[in-house]
Structure 1
Amino acid sequence: MNKIKIAVFGCGAIAQRRHIPEYAANPNVELVAFADPLKERVEEVAKIYGGKAYTSYEELLKNEKLDAVSVCTPNYLHAPMTIAAANAGLHVLVEKPMATTAEEGEQMIEAARKNGVYLMVGHNQRLMPPHVKAKEILDSGKLGKVLTFRTSFGHGGPESWSLDGRDSWFFRKEEAIMGAMGDLGVHKSDFIRYLLSDEIAEVAGFIGTIHKDGTDVDDNATCIVRMKSGAVGTLMASWTHYRSGDNSTVLWCENGVMKIGAVDGDEVIVELTNGTVETYKVGAMATNEQQVHSGVIDAFVQSILTNTPPSISGEEGLRSLNVILGAFESQATGSIVKL
């Protein structure tokens, strides 16, 4: 069977730690080419994995025969690169946030639709073992209705994660557009929508730069959200969780409480009102220090191989992005935003 020919746009941390090694490990994939404006960086990657190095993604698209691309670039480039690739007839896996505005997101979805290609967004939170298990438990109905919740994602900031440290594009507003909210908050809006099989109806956001000097992107956000079902919760994103990161979710339900990654990162704890306590150790969450397999790359490849639209679609990515954009609007206007 023919291997799927893949190119990767952007050779920074997320590409080098997740996308490229996971493609390389997938027997159905051939890594054909890489694009990055930093010549040394892209040549180094091409040397390790094989394939051609380009400093221009337009050149790459012109010269290579491909099936799909991964877009692993600063946020402001997600839309133009995705649209260019879709218009070249290629499937696209784009990192989150899929876009920086709702209009961009809609244009990306439209480009994929009119060219008959798949658009998938890299919301890997859905695929992490504790999250998969939590959804299975919640869907079983044993906890009853979700009433209130909190979900949080924080670490010490991109300076410890990005290949460029404190000089990373993450801190440059014209390239990132948004900070912790685009990096972490959108993961949580996506995850809570997925976990509860529900949409966020209203959001109030407190978003600002509390501690990262010299940048005008947000380093912290705390949001209050109301789901369509009536459940109310908080959603938090932080780049100032120094020393000890957080990727936990707690749901208080009619019949008890479910704690996901709240005690140890690899477990789901269910405490029922009848007194029983169940602990499921199901495998770790990915963290910046601990790169476990994300599952996103394999899911994308599987979609292409089996001609099955990806479950983490452009439409899903846009719904999750709209929550974040609503939170920014709330911060700017001081009012609760209806989505």
Structure 2
Amino acid sequence: MPATLLGRWSDSGALSLGILGVGNIGMVHLKSASAMPGVTPVAAADAVPSNRDRAESAGVARTYDDYTTLLEHEDLDAVVVALPPFLHADAVERAAEAGVDVFVEKPLARTAEEAEEMIETAREADIALGVDHTLRYQPDMVGVKDEFDEGRVGHVPYASITRLNDGPLGRPPASEAPPAWPLDPEAVGGGSLLELGVHCLDVLEWLFGDLEVQSASMGQTLDVPVEDAATVLLRARETETTITLHCGSYQWEQLPEVNTRLRLEGITGTITNQDHLPANFYADAAHSALTNATSRLRRSDPDVFGPTFYLQAHYDALEDFCDAIRNDEAPPVGGDVGLRTLELAEQAYELAAGEDDAALEIPEVVS
């Protein structure tokens, strides 16, 4: 970490944070930062006026309609990049010019090559680059890792992970057209594998170490230009574990209470994230929400993201990043992690494309 960061944290002031993009996930980061000790979100940028209005209502001091303008006018310690993927590289470059550390939403980039360029940009500018891979921060995933690391079930020959989400049109009946960019391959780099699968790839390497992709297939349940389902067969080299990964964006009327399922089949038993969830998911959420409201009435610090552990995981990931740069340390989930998930995803895309080509190949007929 550069020496300039040490000087930056020589005083007792709060870390000043900018939020680039305050759509759904950007607002999560804004509210996380607002509840975080030693962190002050001072400015936000978004091209959509209603998003800027929401940021102002959430307490941010200043808003801008362009993230470049924000970086030019604000004296910040760090920014959160919660923009569409096609803007990630430019936002990191602008932040590097301003000497500001960066915490980027996943996927880090649209391609591994683009991610490598972003990592080099950050290195040359001596700024920290972190990535919001939050699945490893969920308590159910932490519980699985703890059991696995303790050797509770011995060797794990097989594991599986599934991650689901709403489809591109939202839950039916679809009343409004979705934004164009999530369905534009040039804007996002891919479909469900990049939107959902990179989370799974990250948590699997966090658990098992280096992975190799053995086979993959991509599917489309809707007539859209990106895949809305992906299935990948992987193997962990160190643990010799075979793993199946499936991710999909489906038009479900109601998603499961928990949209990620992880299961490790060990030689002496099974570990599953279901064993590390609250006994009654929604009752637990309601209790946390009530605790938040009571805390606000008492003017004490609310557990803002208690109602769902998904949002708490985003809080914990951002807090980890902020603590790291405050302590002159490398981010715990850095650009190299974001790059690795993209490399694995690209291997899966290549294998899936090869299988499609093979299926379409017409054998020569010898008379």
Residue 158 of structure 1 contacts residue 166 of structure 1 at CA under 8 Å; is this kept in 2?
Answer: no
Q: Which residue of 2 aligns with 1:208?
A: 219
User: Are 1:179 and 1:218, in contact at CA under 8 Å, matched by a contact in 2?
Assistant: yes
Is residue 79 of structure 1 aligned with residue 98 of structure 2?
no
Matches within 5 A, 1:174-323: 174-196=186-208, 198-211=209-222, 213=223, 215-229=224-238, 230-240=240-250, 242=252, 243-245=254-256, 246-261=259-274, 265-266=277-278, 291-294=310-313, 295-323=316-344
- Shift in Å at residue 40 of structure 1? 3.5
Shift in Å, 1:291: 5.0
Give the CA deviation at 1:70.
0.4
Structure 1's 139 and 165: CA in aligned 2 closer, same or farther, altered over 3 A?
Answer: farther
Unpaired runs of 5+ residues, structure 1, are 268-280
Moved more, 46-55 or 130-139: 46-55
Structure 2: distance between partners of 1:159 and 1:70: 27
CA distance in 1, matches of 2:338, 2:36: 24
RMSD (Å), alpha carbons = 2.6
Matched, 1:137 2:152: no
1:289–1:301 Cα change, 3 Å: closer
| 2:87 counterpart of 1:68 | no
* Cα deviation code 1:205-256 (max 9, x no counterpart): 1112213x4x211110111111213211111111117223330111112222
CA spacing shift, 1:108–1:80, aligned 2, 3 Å = same
TM-score by length of 2: 0.79
Partner of 1:41: 51
Structure 2 unaligned spans of 5+ = 1-11, 289-304, 357-367
Tell me if the contact between 1:202 and 1:227 (Cα under 8 Å) persists in the aligned partners.
no
Task: Compare the two structures and name the one with the higher strand fraction.
Answer: 1
Report the alpha carbon displacement of residue 155 of structure 1 after superposing the two structures with TM: 2.1
TM superposition shift of 1:47: 4.0
Look up the SS of the partner of 1:258 in the other structure: strand
CA contact (8 A) 2:306 2:312 kept: no
| 1:105 to partner: Cα distance | 0.8
The structure-2 alpha-carbon separation of the partners of 1:99 and 1:44, relative to structure 1 and needing over 3 Å to count, comes to same
Q: CA deviation at 1:173?
A: 2.9
CA distance in 2, matches of 1:22, 1:266: 22
Deviations along 1:232-289, whole A, 9 cap, x unmatched? 111111111722333011111222211113x78448xxxxxxxxxxxxx9xx9x9998
User: Counterpart of 1:108 in 2: which secondary structure?
Assistant: helix
Q: Percent identity?
A: 29
The corresponding residue for 2:360 is none
- Cα 1:291/1:139, change in 2 over 3 Å: closer
Shift of 1:11: 1.1
Report how many residues are paired. 313
SS state of the match for residue 318, structure 2? helix
Deviations 1:317-339 (A, max 9, x none): 1111211111111111228xxxx
> Does 235-244 or 178-187 show the bigger shift?
235-244
- 1:99 aligned to which of 109, 112, 120: 109
Amino acid at match of 2:183: F
SS in 2 for 1:5: strand
SS in 2 for 1:328: helix
Q: Which moved more, 1:46-55 or 1:319-328?
A: 46-55
TM-score, L = length of structure 1:
0.85
Residue matched to 2:5: none
Q: Is the 8 A contact 2:216 2:352 kept in 1?
A: yes
